[in-house]
Structures are given as C-alpha cells and as structure tokens.
Amino acid sequence: MEENNKMQLMIEQAERDLLHTYNRYQVVLDHGEGMYLYDVNGKKYLDFMAGIAVFALGYGNQAYNDALKAQIDKILHTSNYFYNAPAIEAAARLKKVTGMDRVFFTNSGAEAVEGALKAAMKHAWLKDGKERHQVIAMENSFHGRTYGALSVTGNPHYREPFGQMPCDVQFARLNDLESVKALVGGETCAVIVEPVQGEGGLMPASEEFLKGLRALCDEKGILLIFDEIQCGLGRTGYMCAWHRYGVRPDIMTCAKALGCGVPVGAFLLTEEVGQSSLTAGDHGTTYGGNPFACAAVNAVLDQYESLDLVNHVRETAPYLTKVLDDLAAEFACVTERRGVGFMQGLVFDRPVGPIIADAMENGLIMINAGSNILRFVPALVTREEHIDEMAQILRGAIGRNC
C-alpha cells in the first residue's frame, strides 16, 4: 500500500511539472531484463511494446551496454566539424545492411523525415528551378510531429490545430496506385510511403503497389521515399521492409530500433540523389551522428549479427501470426489480424483502452494503434514461450472486456 502511494506521488509530481501532451499509463518504470520490465514497486511486466518498436534487443543486453559504457569513457560528442570513428564505421555498416549509398545521421525519426523531404525538394529545385514543389503522401500515414513530418502525416487531427503546413502535400490511398497517379502533376517532387504503416493501423503496402509506385516515379522523374522508421531493421523478417519486394527507394528513413534506446535516426540516399541534393551548408545538426549515438548503432548491428535477429524474426513470426489468428477466431469482438513479422495488429470492433489497462494490471504491456487496434511490436528476441505467455494474459483481458 505504502509502495503504491510512492508511485502515485511520483505520478502526481510528474503531472505538475511535465507538459501534459501524453495520457500515460499510470506506471513508473524502473528497469528491464530481457523481455520483462519492472516498475518502481518491483511489479513485473511482459513487454510487447518494446518502447514503441525500439528495444529490438530486449533489455539488459550486456554486450550492447558494455559498448555504450566504453564509448562514454572515450568521448560522447565532437560536433560535425570533425570526423569520428564510430560514425565512420556506422555509416559503412548501415549502407551495407540497407543497400543504400549515402547516410545522414539524425537524432530522431521525425528529423530523418525532415532531412528526406529537404533532400527531395532540393533535388527537384536543382532539376527544374521551380519555386514550388509538391509531395504526395498516404492517408493514415504517420511520419512524426515536427512541422515537415507533420505535413506528410495523413491523420488530419494531428495537423488541424497547427495552421499552415510548410510542405504542399496531397494525400493518396495506400495500395491504390490510381489514387497516386491522379495527384501527380508538374510540381510533384516526391512520394513518401511507409512500406508497412505503423501508427496508422499496421497496414502493409502490397508488392503490386510498391512496384507500381517505383515505375510511376521513374517515368515522371519523381523521388520515392520509404519511411522505414518503424518497419525497418528486421521487424518484418527483412533488414528493410522493402527488401522483401526488391523495390529500392531513392531515399529512406530509419530510426526506432537503430539505437535500441539511444536517440538516433538516419536518412539514406542513392548515390544519384546524394550527388544532386543536399550539399555543404544545406543541412546540419549539432548532435546528429555523434560518437555515442553511432557507438550505439554499431553495438546494435553487432547484436543483429551475433543473435541472427532477422532470421529469428522470420522463423518465429509465423507462430505469432498463428496465435493472433487463434485469438481473432476465438473472440467475436476481434474483426481482423493485420501486419507482418513482428509488426502486427488485432483490429477490434471497439476501443482497446480497457483491454490494454486490464492486460497491464495482469502484467502485460501492450500498445494501441489508433483507438481500436492492438499493436504487437515486441523485441526481436521474442521467443515462442513469450508469445504463449502474452496470449494467455491477453485472452483473459479480452474475455473480461468484450
């Protein structure tokens, strides 16, 4: 009881001091171990949210932690006036695993999207010299909360209170190539799409759609941008979601799992776009690509290799799919299972808030996508026994709330 009071007091203090932009779960987390999180009272939770698809390695990976500690004792930050060894290594490795040619490191996902948009605008401006260029984005997309990223985010509620958006954007429908074609005009400079929509409802783009987009962009001289911030780095069973389809973008973004908790993102370009877009003086960041963040990227990529994480996802995801299909068949309130790999959703005929709260009470951390979708984005080290444990708790929570 006294313990609960302590957590309650911490939450009350937070609500006095922090700007209230999140309706947070009423839990103060303390530490993690593998697939489990512990709150300040020592209560244990199985984690199927992974800090919103971030903690690919699970918690307390010793080799990763040791690499970060070693970098702290060497140097944390240099500024981009200098080269630094971790960034040189991280850029080469990221090129290799993604199949892109040029890397710019950022501090977050939204900032990677900003850079991608600036690169596309500059590329078009160099080509045709026009003052105005348009971007085509998808309905239900999510690209981040800064102004440029918000411009291309397909949820009108996120944009509505914030006035004029800086980018001129039109929205097409995912998997409806004709809806994209109808919007392409002389000022269109880029199409931006998540190969698997995250926030917007775990909806994968079809192979036909992505191939159609590639052909359309090539024909019209438009850049194709893939936002792989959530679906990239192994979550779909491929290092990049687009590897599954062999449709290479001109620019791609990356973040979330890239640092596994250390804030780092990147946008990557083909050599052609790299050579004819952003140049010295066009773009910058104080922190981006600093030695600490890039040491995290290197440590993450080391663990992807030594734990063979992408193959593990490919092997284990069919089990997650089967378990979720079983839940969908068992409960009439579940209308659909969606998604791929370790990026899936159960669609409900009602808001999932009460189910998430019930699961939390019973030691399972889940996240929604929109009001009526339960999102499954666990660490990439998730094994079948964790999926069983998740399903057991979730079955109870759905049963009590449907």
Ligand X SMILES: *Cc1c(COP(=O)(O)O)cnc(C)c1O
Q: Which residues bind ligand X (CB under 6 A)?
A: 108-110, 113, 142-144, 194, 198-199, 227, 229-230, 255-256
CA distance 84 to 82: 6
Q: Report which residue's Cβ sits closest to ligand X.
A: 109
Main-chain phi, psi angles of 223, to 5 degrees: -85, 145
Helix (H, G, I), strand (E, B) or coil at 252: strand
DSSP-assigned states of every residue in 172-225: E-TT-HHHHHTT--TTEEEEEE-SB-STTTSPBPPHHHHHHHHHHHHHHT-EEE
User: Which is closer to ligand X, CB of 159 or CB of 181?
Assistant: 159
Smallest gap, in angstroms, from Cβ of residue 49 to ligand X?
A: 13
Q: Among positive and negative, which fits the CA dihedral 211, 212, 218, 223? A: negative
Burial class (CB in 10 A: 0-12, 13-18, 19+), 204: buried
Smallest gap, in angstroms, from Cβ of residue 146 to ligand X?
A: 7
User: Which is closer to ligand X, CB of 144 or CB of 274?
Assistant: 144
User: Which is closer to ligand X, CB of 241 or CB of 393?
Assistant: 241
Smallest gap, in angstroms, from Cβ of residue 66 to ligand X?
A: 25
Please count the other Cβ atoms lying within 10 Å of the Cβ belonging to residue 390: 24
Smallest gap, in angstroms, from Cβ of residue 104 to ligand X?
A: 15
CA separation, residue 356 to residues 279, 352, 383, 395 (Å): 47, 6, 21, 12
Copy the structure tokens of residue 345.
């959703």
Length of the chain equals 402
User: Which is closer to ligand X, CB of 23 or CB of 62?
Assistant: 23
What's at 215, amino acid-wise?
A
Q: Which residue has the tokens 């702290």?
A: 72
Smallest gap, in angstroms, from Cβ of residue 401 to ligand X?
A: 27
Smallest gap, in angstroms, from Cβ of residue 130 to ligand X?
A: 27
Q: Which residue has the tokens 């944390």?
A: 76
CA separation, residue 263 to residues 55, 103, 110, 254, 339 (Å): 11, 16, 11, 12, 26
User: Which is closer to ligand X, CB of 108 or CB of 316?
Assistant: 108
User: Which is closer to ligand X, CB of 108 or CB of 344?
Assistant: 108
User: Which is closer to ligand X, CB of 32 or CB of 109?
Assistant: 109
Residue 347, H or E segment: strand 343-348
Smallest gap, in angstroms, from Cβ of residue 149 to ligand X?
A: 6
* DSSP class of 19: -
CA distance 211 to 244: 12
Smallest gap, in angstroms, from Cβ of residue 198 to ligand X?
A: 4
Main-chain phi, psi angles of 82, to 5 degrees: -125, 160
User: Which is closer to ligand X, CB of 323 or CB of 366?
Assistant: 366
User: Which is closer to ligand X, CB of 217 or CB of 255?
Assistant: 255
Smallest gap, in angstroms, from Cβ of residue 165 to ligand X?
A: 16
